Structure 1
Amino acid sequence: MLYYKNDFYYLDYEFEDVLKLFFLKDELQKADGPWNYGSGAFLFCGFETEAAADLCISLNADGFKEQISIPVPEELAALFQAERKGAPGALKEHKTDIRPFRKVFKRKLYLLLESFTGKSIPWGIMTGIRPAKLVNELMDAGEKEQDIVNKLVEDYYVTRSKAQLLYEVAGNQRELFKDSAPESAALYVGIPFCPTRCLYCSFSSSTLGQYKKLVDVYLEALLKEIRHTGDIIRSCGLKIESIYIGGGTPTSVNSIQLDRLLKGIESLLDLSTMREYTLEAGRPDTIDAGKLKVIRDSRVTRISINPQSMNATTLERIGRGHTPRQVEEAFYTARSLGFDNINMDVICGLPGEDASMFKRSMEQLSKLKPESITVHTMAVKRASRLNLESDNFSLRKEYGQVAEMVEIAGAYAAELGLRPYYLYRQKNILGNLENVGYSQKGKECLYNIQIMEERQSVFACGAGAVTKIVFPENRIERSFNVKSVEEYLGRIDEMLERKKFLIANQL
C-alpha cells in the first residue's frame, strides 16, 4: 500500500495523474499526516517548513528512502508563499503561467516512482488521450523525424518503439489531411440502442428491449436534428467530408427503421463533397442479409463488424450475446453483397483472457482479411458494469501480458498489409497502453482521425452526442446533447437552439 499526501493543491492533477501510472486504485490511500502506518510506503509532496523555498517530494518505505527538492522559480515563489499563508487565488489573480513548473514536477515525480517500483511505463508522462496530435503539431512546425522521436523519448520518457509508432501513425494521417478542404466538416449520428449492454461499456446506450416502442419516435427526433444541423452546416459555408453512424449499435434497429434513417440522411443533407460514410454495424447478432442490403443500397462506404474476441467463453462472459461463428457469417454475408471496406474491432485484456487466447482471435480474424482492424486495450470505465462489479472480475493484468497482446495484434496487422493510422489512449487503460487502428492504404477511417486530431469541426446528432466546433485559432467549443433517450425526446427543441446559439455566437 502506498500512502500519499499532497500539501500543494495546484499540483493535485499532475500528482494523481502520475500515481495512476504506477498503482491500481486499491494500492493507494490518502494520508492525513506523516508516515506512521507500520507497513507500506509514504509519499509526500509539499514544503518541509513554512519558510522553505523549494518544493519537496519524498518517498519512504522499507529499504527505500529518497527525497527530491525542486527549486521554485523566483517569479512563482512569492505567489506560492501567499497561497500558503492563506491568500487563495494569488496565482490566478496574477495570471501566472504555472505550466512549465508543473511539467518539471511531473517529470521528477515520475522518475522517483519509476525508481521505487521498477516499472517501465511505455508512454512515460504522456497521459493525454491524443498523443498523435502533438506529433502532428511538431511536423507542422517543420521538425524532422529523428528530432521528434528524440523529443518524445527524452522529454516525455516514451519508449523508443512507442515513439516510432506514433510518428508512423501521424505520417500516415498527413496523407489524408492533404485532401481535406479548409471548409470541410464531419457529421456524427448516434443510435443509442443495443441488444444487451456489454460488461465494459460506458457509452450512452440502452437495451433495445427496454426502448423498442420509442425507436420510431427517436428516429423522428433524430432526423429533425439532422435537418437542423444540415442547415447550420450550410449557413456556415461548411461542407460535409465524412459521416459516422455509431452508437450503441445502429443495426439493433430493424431494417425498415434503418432504411428510414439512411434515406433521411441522404435527402436532408448535401453529400456532394462526402469522401467517407461509415456505419458501425457492430454486434454480429444484429446483422442479417436484409439490413446489409439496406446499407449496401445507401451511400455508406465503410462498415464495422466487431467481434471484440473470437473466444466463445469470453463473449459469454462479457455479455456479447453472439458466437464466433456468427461473426464469420456476418462477415461473409457482407462480402457476398459487395462490401469492400470492412473494419473489425478486438480488445486486448478482456476479463479471463490471456495472450494465447488473444492470439487465437487474431488468427481467426486474419483468415477473414478485413480491410482494417482496430485494436483496443481494455479500459475500466467508471460507468461500466465491469467497474461496478470489479470484485467479480480480475482486473490485475500484468503489463507484460497485455503488452504481448498489443504486440501480437500489431504483428498480425502487418502480415495483412495494414498500416497504423489512428491512435488514442484512455483513462484507466490496462498497462497504460493504447488503442490503434490499422488499415489498408486508402481504407482508413477519416472520421476517426479527424475526431482525435481536432483539426475539423464535428457536428453531432442524437442522444449523448457532442458537437465540437474547431476554430482557426486552435480554440474548441462544444455543445452537449442529453444522454437519456426520454430526455432527448422531450428536450429536442432546446438542444437544437443550443447548437444554433453556439454557432451564432462563436463563428
Structure 2
Amino acid sequence: MKIWISEPAYAYDAKTLLHALYKGQEILVDMVKESSDWSIDCRDDFLLVESPWGSREVRWNEEGSCFYRSFSGDRKKREKFAFKHLVYNLYLEGGGAPLPWGVLTGIRPTKIVLEHLREGSLDTLGEVLARNYRISPEKIRLLEEIAAAEQEVLQGGEPEDMSVYVGIPFCPTRCLYCSFTAYPMAKNRHLARPYVDALVREVGETRELWSGKAGKRIRSLYIGGGTPTALDEEDLEHLLEKLSALLPWEGLEEITVEAGRPDTITREKLEILRKYGIHRISINPQTMNQKTLDRIGREHTVRDVEETFRMAREMGFDRINMDLILGLSGEGLEEVRHTFREVEKLAPDNLTVHTLAVKRASRLKEEEDLQEFPGEDKVAAMVEIAREAAREMGLAPYYMYRQKNMVGSHENIGYARPGTACVYNVVVMEEVQTVLAYGAGAITKVVHPRENRIERIENVKNLEQYLERIQEMIDRKMEYFL
C-alpha cells in the first residue's frame, strides 16, 4: 500500500493504523512537497492527507474510485483523533472487521487509563475509551482491571525511586522469533567473563547516581537478557557477588533473574540464586508441544521444563514466572489447550502470555512465507483460552503491552497470584520511574514526572563494541546526570 502524505505529523499515525488494519501488507510512505504533486490524486495511491489549499483531507482509492473526506479538530490532538476515526470508518465501510483495540496503536494502553484516573474518575473511563479509541467492551474491562492492579503496585513507590536493569546478552541458541540482543554462547563463551567484568565496572563507576548525595532508592532489579543462566556457575556467582556489593541489596524490594531457557538451568545455578536472595525467576517454555519447540529452535524438551520447574520449587523459589506465546506457526486451539493443561499442573505464580509478533530483526521475518500462522479468529480464541486458564489457576492480569505486527492485533498480558506481581514490569511499562540500564543494548530511561518527559541514554548493542567502549558507556550516564 502507498501513502502519500503532506503533513509529517500524520505519517506515523497513518502507517501504524494501516499496519493494524491491513496485516501482512507492506506500507510505503512518500511525502507530498509541492501543490503540483497532488496531480497524482487517485491512481495507485491509497491515502492522501492535507490538501495544498489548507483543508485536512483524506483521498481514498477503492477499485479505481476516489473518495474525498475532510476532517478537523479544534486542537492538534482532536484533529488526530478525527483523522484516525475517518480512516477507520472508511475501512469498516469497505467491509473490514472491527478491531478489538479500535484505532489505538500505542504499545502502552494502560498509560491512557492511568492518566484518565489521575484527571477524572473510573465512572467515565469506559465511555472515553469507547468514544475516543473505539475499543471493544471486552478490552475496556481488561484495561480497567489491569489499571487497578498497576495502581496498587505503583502506590508502593515514589516518583523519585529508580529501578535497575542488567542485561546478559548470551543464549544457548537463538530462537526463531527472537529479535533481542543475544549471542550464542557456544561461539562467544570466551567473552562471558570479560563482559561480566565490564558490566560490573559500568555499575560500579556510576554508583553515585543513587548513593550518597543522590539519595535515590532503588526499588527493583531485573537481570534479563538473553538468558542470564547461560553464564556458567562461576561467572553467574561472580556477577551476583559483585552486584550485591555495589547495589543496596538488602533494601531491594524485588530481584528478578530471567532464567528463561530450562536447558541453561542446573541445581548449582539455582543454589547460587538462592544464596544471593533472588526473589523471582522465570522458566519459559513458550509452548508445551515438543514439535513446536523443535520448530522454533528451543533445544530443550517439555520434560526439561517440567523437571527444572519442580526442582526450583523444591529448592524454595516461591515466585516463578512462565512465558508462553500464542499464534506460533503450526499450532491450533488443541495445541494451546494442551499447553495450558500442562502448565496448570506446575502451578506457576506468574504467567506472561505473549501474542506472537513477527519482528524485523528475527529469523522468523526472513522465513515468514514458510510459516503456517493461525488466522485471526483462531488467535482470538487462543487469547480467550489463555485468559480462562489463568483465572482457573488463580492468576489475575496485572500488566499489559502491545507490539507492532502482532498476530491477530491483540496484546501481551502478565498474570499473577495475589501479592506476587512483578514491580519491575509495571514500572518499566508505565514509565513512571527512572530505569538505569546496564549492558550491551541496554537503554536507560530517565523519567521527569513533573514535566511528563522521558529521555533515553543508549548503550551500544554490539558485544565487542560494548567491551571496547565501556568507558564511553559510563561517561554517557555520568554526563547526563551530573
Instruction: Tell me if TM exceeds 0.5.
Output: yes
Aligned in 2, Cα 1:373/1:400: closer, same or farther, shift over 3 Å? Answer: same
Which residue matches 2:14? 15
Letter in 2 for 1:20: H
Q: Kindly report which structure 2 residues correspond to 1:343-354, keeping only aligned pairs within 5 A, or say none.
A: 343-354=321-332
Name the counterpart of 1:216.
Answer: 193
CA contact (8 A) 2:42 2:66 kept: no
Deviation at 1:138, TM superposition (A): 1.2
The CA deviation string for residues 151-199 of structure 1, in whole angstroms up to 9 with x for no partner, is: 1111100101101101100101111112113432101011000000001
Q: Which residue type is aligned with residue 70 of structure 2?
A: S
Q: Give 3-state SS (helix, strand or coil) of 1:105's partner.
A: helix
Residues 81-96 of structure 1: matches in 2 within 5 Å? none
Q: How do 1:152-171 residues align onto structure 2 when only pairs under 5 Å count?
A: 152-171=129-148
Distance of aligned partners of 1:498 and 1:46 in 2 relative to their CA distance in 1, 3 Å threshold: closer
Cα offsets for 1:371-421 (capped at 9, x unmatched) = 0100001011111111122222235x4211111111111100000110100
Match in the other structure for 1:337: 315
Asked if 1:292 is matched to 2:270, the reply is yes
Q: Aligned partners of 1:26, 1:14: CA distance in 2, in Å?
A: 16
Aligned twin of 1:479 = 457
Q: Which among 51, 55, 59 is matched to residue 57 of structure 1?
A: 59
Q: Counterpart in 2 of 1:78? A: none
Which residue in the other structure is 2:400 paired with? 423
Secondary structure of the structure 1 residue equivalent to 2:322: strand
Matches within 5 A, 1:144-183: 144=122, 146-183=123-160
Residues 175 and 296 of structure 2 are in contact (CA less than 8 Å); yes or no, is this contact kept in structure 1? Answer: yes
Structure 2 residue matching 1:441: 3-state secondary structure: coil
Q: Does 1:495 align with 2:464?
A: no
Q: 1:51 to 1:135 in 2, by over 3 A?
A: closer
Aligned equivalents of 1:186, 1:434: Cα separation in 2: 24
Count of aligned positions:
472
Correspondent of 1:321 among 281, 299, 306: 299
Aligned equivalents of 1:123, 1:297: Cα separation in 2 = 45
CA distance in 2, matches of 1:225, 1:54: 50
SS in 2 for 1:469: strand
Residues 1:409 and 2:408 aligned together? no
The equivalent of 1:68 in structure 2 is: 69
Q: Deviations over 1:181-232 (max 9, x none)?
A: 3432101011000000001101011000111001011111111112123332
Taking structure 1 as reference, are residues 115 and 240 closer, same or farther at Cα in structure 2, changes over 3 Å only?
same
* Cα separation, 2, equivalents of 1:47 and 1:244: 46
Per-residue deviation, 1:45: 2.0
Distance 1:47 1:206, change over 3 A: closer
Residue identity in the other structure for 1:453: E
Q: Is it true that 1:45 corresponds to 2:48 in the alignment?
A: yes
Structure 2 segments unaligned to the other structure (5+ residues): 31-36
Task: Determine the C-alpha separation between the residues in 2 that align with 1:393 and 1:467.
Answer: 35
State the AA in 1 paired with 2:146: V
Q: Is this contact kept in 2: 1:57–1:109, CA < 8 A?
A: no
Distance 1:55 1:66 in 2: 10
Contact residue 199 and residue 386 of structure 1 kept, 8 A: yes
The aligned runs of 1:106-185 (5 Å cut-off) are 106-144=84-122, 146-185=123-162
- Per-residue CA deviations over 1:36-84 (Å, capped at 9, x if unaligned) read 56xxxx6332466x5474523334228x8754222576xxxxxxxxxxx
CA distance in structure 1 between the aligned counterparts of 2:108 and 2:413, rounded to whole angstroms = 12
Counterpart residue number, 2:33: none
Q: CA deviation at 1:8?
A: 4.3
Tell me the residue number matched to 1:355.
333
Unaligned runs of 5+ in 1: 74-96
Report if the CA contact (8 A) 1:204-1:483 is conserved: yes
Give how far 1:272 is off: 3.6
Change (3 A) 1:488 1:30: closer
Question: Any idea what SS the aligned residue of 2:408 has?
Answer: helix
Which of 173, 184, 192 in structure 2 is aligned with 1:207?
Answer: 184
SS of residue matched to 1:123: coil
Is the contact made by 1:43 and 1:59 (CA closer than 8 Å) also made in structure 2?
yes
Q: 1:456-475 residue pairs with structure 2 within 5 A?
A: 456-473=433-450, 474-475=452-453
Give distance in 2, aligned partners of 1:168 and 1:136.
11
| 1:393 aligned residue (371, 377, 387) | 371
Partner of 1:241: 219
| Residue 94 (structure 1) aligns with | none
Residue in 2 aligned with 1:79? none
SS at match of 1:409: helix
Q: Is the alpha carbon distance of 1:482 and 1:102 closer, same or farther for their aligned partners in structure 2, counting shifts above 3 Å?
A: same
- Quick one: structure 1 residues 57 and 236, their matched pair in 2 at CA, closer, same or farther if it must change by over 3 Å? farther
Q: Of the candidates 243, 257, 271, which is equivalent to residue 249 of structure 2?
A: 271
Q: What are the superposed Cα offsets for residues 274-325 of structure 1, whole Å, 9 maximum, x if unpaired?
A: 1111000000111111111111111210000000000111101110111111
Question: Which residue pairs with 1:308 in the alignment?
Answer: 286
3-state SS, counterpart of residue 239 of structure 2:
helix
Give the Cα separation in 2 of the matches to 1:260 and 1:47. 59
Across the aligned residues of Structure 1 and Structure 2, the Cα RMSD in angstroms comes to: 2.0
Provide closer, same or farther for how the CA distance between residues 56 and 189 of structure 1 changes in structure 2, counting only shifts above 3 A: closer
Distance 1:71 1:30 in 2: 22
State the alpha-carbon separation in 2 of the partners of residues 332 and 458 from structure 1: 32
CA contact (8 A) 1:244 1:278 kept: yes
Distance 1:161 1:179, change over 3 A: same
How far is the alpha carbon of 1:115 from its aligned partner? 2.4
Amino acid at match of 1:503: F
Checking the alignment, whether the CA contact within 8 Å between 1:190 and 1:246 is kept in structure 2 is: yes
**1:434 paired to 2:433:** no
8 Å Cα contact 2:164/2:222 also seen in 1: yes
Quote the Cα distance in structure 2 between the aligned partners of 1:71 and 1:455: 32
Shift of 1:481: 0.6
Once the two structures are superposed, residues 458-479 of structure 1 have per-residue CA deviations (whole angstroms, 9 ceiling, x without a partner) of 1111111111111132221111
2:343 is equivalent to residue 365 of structure 1 = yes
Moved more, 265-274 or 317-326: 265-274
1:3 shift after superposition: 5.4
* Contact 1:193/1:252 (8 A) holds in 2: yes
4+ runs deviating over 3 angstroms:
2-10, 25-37, 50-54, 64-67
Asked if residue 228 in structure 1 is aligned to residue 205 in structure 2, the reply is yes
SS in 2 for 1:463: coil
Task: Work out whether residues 3 and 28 of structure 2, in 8 Å CA contact, stay in contact via their aligned partners in 1.
Answer: yes
Give the TM-score taking structure 1 as reference length: 0.89
Q: Does residue 80 of structure 2 align to residue 105 of structure 1?
A: no
Cα distance change, pair 477–216 in 1 and its aligned pair in 2 (3 A): same
Q: Tell me the distance in 2 between the aligned counterparts of 1:27 and 1:483.
A: 27
What is the TM-score when the length of structure 2 is the normalising length? 0.93
Check whether the contact 1:190–1:248 (CA below 8 A) recurs between aligned residues. Answer: yes
What is the CA–CA distance in structure 1 between the aligned matches of 2:413 and 2:154, rounded to whole Å? 18
